[in-house]
């Protein structure tokens, strides 16, 4: 089914446009509740952390974040202090006086928001009573063996207790807005509504619980959404009680939001409520901003990766590193959900195409996904040692260089010992085995999904292979003795990020590539891919390649991904530089300063839930204010013109290259984002934008 355009933070369909100062934040208190406040578990931590700065700038001292208390996290990430708001202090005191510990402080991230952390262990003695309350309230029972669900109930009960004490202290003003993220904190929302606590509530699902479980089982999920018996599916996976918590929270919230259009469709079927607003995830662009330096950073970090490649492929380094492209995939080790299965198959086909066309480009592909290992691979460490030894010998001339003042005699400049040392270093680069595919010793080598499929497609880093594979089963670290780079440096040094995910509610990895000026491959089943399809007329021209995994078969999607990568390999160096410039300019679309207009959604929630003296007239028309990047002016109208007809193209610039003016093109893009056009109903006689379907 086609994606329908729902309310979106980027387009704000159905909402009136008002100035930010119209929202009376001085009379409001905003609470963001999430299990990952100061507690890094997954992607929601990134959402909360990167959004904190802009939210704190807007709400000031009236912003509070709430999460579970963990001693180590509190000691290392939070500066403890006294609550500045008397009502908050008294509400905390009420819980503390009854034996439930609550901690307050400033979270040491950008924006320094206040955090309220609840110690679930100190209130565990109330678990049985609170389980009874939940059953009496909504008929949801929690099994004793599910520790996470029980902890979420304790946390939610403490949150609801806190809000009851807070609203009793505040009376009618100021008004309270509570934003809950994910099912782990849903119990708090359910209890607040059942006890008729006077506050406005928002619930955001970043990925439906049942959807993630079903997709992990290699099911054709999106084409069968309407066929699933959700109660039966949840029961068979022993998560029915969790599913009930999530679904009840969704239906209890005044406003229900999700992070992408594709997840909105999923939530409508899985949770039986259509999201009121779609709120795409953003990034703190300032953290990644390098202005015009990002091209230099790419060159510098690419050199560091090349040094690693020299060591890893010693004895088999018969390819030109200046004509070598670095591709990578990174994230949780979810073989099917992250699209690793079709990526490996596409690499096999790409290897065949590069061989057939006798292309002198070599592709080195990194898989950065954590798996169970016991140590570094000895052969990998040896390779780096050989490289360093060879570099040391060649970079340290004989001592006689420093003492000669006259022109040296070339016949005596090196003695026999110098030749011996050099020959030994050169002979050490000989290797009779293939370079290893993995950099670590895998605990489950025989059944590991990536290694099993590497054996199936026979990509063993042979001399004849134009595609080389490297599996790094640990997250990157600047302190690693093998590849001493952090993730940001590594991404900047690569040429293309490939993320052909099947289940990806948003997808931060291609977004991070974009803000660092690195082209990426995503899919129309990821929130990021849907977002770019909606707001960029020709995403591929901006270095965002979108694989169709929804309306094509797996084989067709695999062929499409292969063609994207093969086309990228055919680009000249100049074309790649131009494309990186365009990619980096899309950063503004992902900036929380644009996406994080929380005043609109907060205003909407308040108008729906409380009788405030805010005269808001919600528009019922489908009129939508948005933006859409056009095709870059320097891109030819036909794809056949932009790709060279011969498989191999020189890195030297040709005289007949298409005209390109970086400054003019960048200025046009800036104007496009500042002057949005109107989406929605197309006026009579007016054509729709190329690539856009009228809704």
Residue 673 main-chain phi, psi, to 5 deg: -80, -25
pLDDT value of position 450? 97
Reading the block at residue 403, the tokens are: 């003492």
2 Cβ partners below 8 Å, 6+ apart?
Answer: 693
pLDDT value of position 5? 36
- Lowest-confidence region among 6-10, 55-59, 96-100, 559-563: 6-10
Q: How confident is the model at residue 387 (pLDDT cuts 50, 70, 90)?
A: confident
pLDDT in tens, 267-279: 999 999 999 888 8
Angle, in degrees to the nearest 10, between helices 186-194 and 240-252: 50
Q: Please tell me whether residue 126 adopts helix, strand or coil conformation.
A: helix
Alpha carbon 12 to chain centroid, angstroms: 23
Nearest residue to 626 (alpha-carbon basis) of 280, 195, 239: 280
Q: Which domains does the chain have, with CATH numbers?
A: 27-278 (3.40.50.2000), 293-397+414-587 (3.40.50.2000)
pLDDT in tens, 78-110: 999 999 999 999 999 999 999 999 999 999 999
Q: How confident is the model at residue 315 (pLDDT cuts 50, 70, 90)?
A: confident
With 60 as the cut, is the pLDDT of residue 415 above it? yes
Comparison of pLDDT for 415 and 155, the residue scoring more: 155
Q: How confident is the model at residue 583 (pLDDT cuts 50, 70, 90)?
A: very high
With 80 as the cut, is the pLDDT of residue 635 above it? no
Q: Stretch 560-573: mean pLDDT, rounded? A: 96
Alpha carbon 623 to chain centroid, angstroms: 30
pLDDT in tens, 320-361: 999 999 999 999 899 999 999 999 999 999 999 999 999 899
Rounded CA gap, 76 and 269, in Å?
41
Highest mean pLDDT among 17-21, 40-44, 518-522, 638-642: 518-522
Q: Please tell me whether residue 595 adopts helix, strand or coil conformation.
A: helix
pLDDT value of position 182? 94
- Residue 362's beta-bridge partner residues? 324
Rounded CA gap, 255 and 204, in Å?
9
With 70 as the cut, is the pLDDT of residue 658 above it? no
pTM for the whole structure: 0.81
Q: Stretch 558-566: mean pLDDT, rounded? A: 97
With 70 as the cut, is the pLDDT of residue 252 above it? yes
Q: Stretch 586-597: mean pLDDT, rounded? A: 77
Judging by beta carbons within 10 Å of its beta carbon (0-12, 13-18, 19+), is residue 445 exposed, middle or buried? exposed
Instruction: Evaluate the omega torsion of the peptide bond into residue 249 and state whether it is cis, within 30 degrees of 0.
Output: no
pLDDT value of position 71? 94
User: Is residue 461 within 8 Å of residue 365, measured between CB atoms?
Assistant: no
Rounded CA gap, 297 and 307, in Å?
16
With 70 as the cut, is the pLDDT of residue 202 above it? yes
pLDDT value of position 545? 97
User: Is residue 188 within 8 Å of residue 210, measured between CB atoms?
Assistant: no
Rounded CA gap, 468 and 365, in Å?
6
Nearest residue to 113 (alpha-carbon basis) of 182, 31, 47: 31
Q: How confident is the model at residue 303 (pLDDT cuts 50, 70, 90)?
A: very high
With 50 as the cut, is the pLDDT of residue 51 above it? yes
With 70 as the cut, is the pLDDT of residue 656 above it? no
From residue 548, alpha-carbon distances to 327, 412, 426, 529, 545 in Å are 20, 66, 48, 10, 10
Q: How confident is the model at residue 575 (pLDDT cuts 50, 70, 90)?
A: very high
Give the single-character DSSP code of 536. Answer: B
Q: How confident is the model at residue 623 (pLDDT cuts 50, 70, 90)?
A: very low
Mean residue pLDDT across the chain: 82
pLDDT value of position 326? 98
Comparison of pLDDT for 217 and 529, the residue scoring more: 529
With 80 as the cut, is the pLDDT of residue 37 above it? yes
């Amino acid at each position: 089914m086609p994606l329908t355009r729902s309310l979106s933070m980027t387009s704000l369909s159905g909402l009136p446009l008002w100035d930010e100062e119209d929202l009376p934040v001085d009379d409001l208190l905003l609470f963001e509740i999430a299990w990952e406040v100061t507690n890094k578990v997954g992607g929601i931590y990134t959402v909360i952390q990167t959004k904190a700065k802009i939210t704190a700038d807007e709400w000031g001292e009236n912003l509070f974040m709430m999460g579970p208390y963990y001693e180590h996290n509190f000691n290392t990430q939070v500066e403890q202090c006294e609550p500045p708001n008397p009502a908050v202090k008294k509400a905390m005191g009420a819980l503390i006086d009854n034996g439930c510990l609550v901690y307050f402080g400033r979270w040491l991230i950008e924006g320094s928001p206040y955090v309220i952390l609840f110690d679930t262990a100190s209130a565990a003695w109330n678990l049985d009573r609170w389980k009874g309350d939940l059953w009496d309230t909504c008929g949801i029972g929690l099994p004793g063996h599910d520790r996470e669900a029980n902890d979420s109930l304790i946390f939610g009960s403490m949150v609801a207790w806190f809000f009851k004490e807070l609203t009793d202290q505040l009376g009618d003003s100021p008004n309270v807005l509570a934003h809950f993220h994910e099912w782990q904190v849903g119990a708090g929302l359910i209890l607040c509504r059942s006890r008729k606590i006077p506050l406005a509530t928002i619930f955001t699902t970043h990925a439906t619980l049942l959807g993630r479980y079903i997709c992990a089982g290699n099911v054709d999920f999106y084409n069968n959404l309407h066929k699933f018996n959700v109660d039966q599916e949840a029961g068979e996976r022993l998560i029915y009680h969790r599913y009930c918590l999530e679904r009840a929270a969704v239906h209890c919230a005044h406003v229900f939001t999700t992070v992408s259009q594709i997840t909105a469709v999923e939530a409508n079927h899985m949770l039986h409520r259509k999201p009121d607003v779609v709120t795409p995830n953003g990034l703190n662009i300032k953290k990644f901003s390098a202005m015009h330096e990002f091209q230099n950073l790419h060159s510098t970090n690419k050199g560091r990766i090349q040094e690693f490649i020299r060591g890893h492929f010693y004895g088999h380094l018969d390819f030109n590193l200046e004509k070598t492209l670095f591709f990578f995939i990174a994230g949780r080790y979810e073989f099917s959900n992250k699209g690793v299965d079709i990526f490996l198959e596409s690499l096999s086909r790409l290897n065949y195409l590069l061989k057939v066309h006798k292309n002198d480009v070599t592709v080195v592909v990194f898989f950065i996904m954590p798996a169970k290992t016991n140590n570094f691979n000895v052969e990998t460490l040896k390779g780096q040692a050989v490289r360093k030894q060879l570099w040391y010998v060649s970079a340290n001339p004989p001592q006689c260089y420093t003492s000669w003042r006259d022109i040296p005699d070339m016949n005596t400049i090196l003695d026999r010992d110098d030749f011996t040392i050099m020959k030994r270093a050169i002979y050490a680069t000989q290797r009779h085995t293939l370079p290893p595919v993995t950099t670590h010793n895998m605990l489950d080598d025989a059944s590991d999904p990536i290694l099993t499929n590497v054996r199936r497609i026979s990509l063993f880093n042979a001399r004849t292979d134009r595609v080389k594979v490297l599996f790094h089963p640990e997250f990157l670290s600047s302190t690693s003795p093998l590849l001493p780079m952090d993730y940001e440096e590594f991404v900047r040094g690569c040429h293309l990020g490939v993320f052909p995910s099947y289940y990806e509610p948003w997808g931060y990895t291609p977004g991070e590539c974009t803000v660092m000026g690195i082209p990426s491959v995503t899919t129309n089943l990821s929130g990021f891919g849907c977002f770019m399809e909606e707001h960029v007329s020709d995403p591929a021209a901006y270095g965002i390649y979108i694989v169709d995994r929804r309306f094509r078969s797996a084989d067709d999607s695999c062929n499409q991904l292969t063609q994207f990568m093969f086309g990228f390999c055919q680009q000249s160096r100049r074309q790649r530089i131009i494309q990186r410039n365009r990619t980096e300019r899309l950063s503004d679309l992902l900036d929380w300063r644009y996406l994080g207009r929380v005043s609109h959604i907060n205003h909407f929630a308040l108008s729906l839930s409380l009788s405030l003296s805010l005269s808001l007239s919600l528009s019922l028309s489908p009129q939508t204010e948005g933006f859409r990047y056009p095709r870059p002016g320097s891109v030819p109208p036909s794809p056949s013109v932009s790709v060279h007809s011969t498989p191999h193209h020189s890195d030297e610039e040709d005289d007949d290259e298409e005209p390109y003016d970086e400054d003019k093109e960048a200025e046009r893009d800036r104007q496009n984002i500042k002057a949005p056009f109107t989406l929605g109903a197309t006026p009579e006689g007016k054509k729709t934008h190329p690539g856009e379907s009228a809704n």
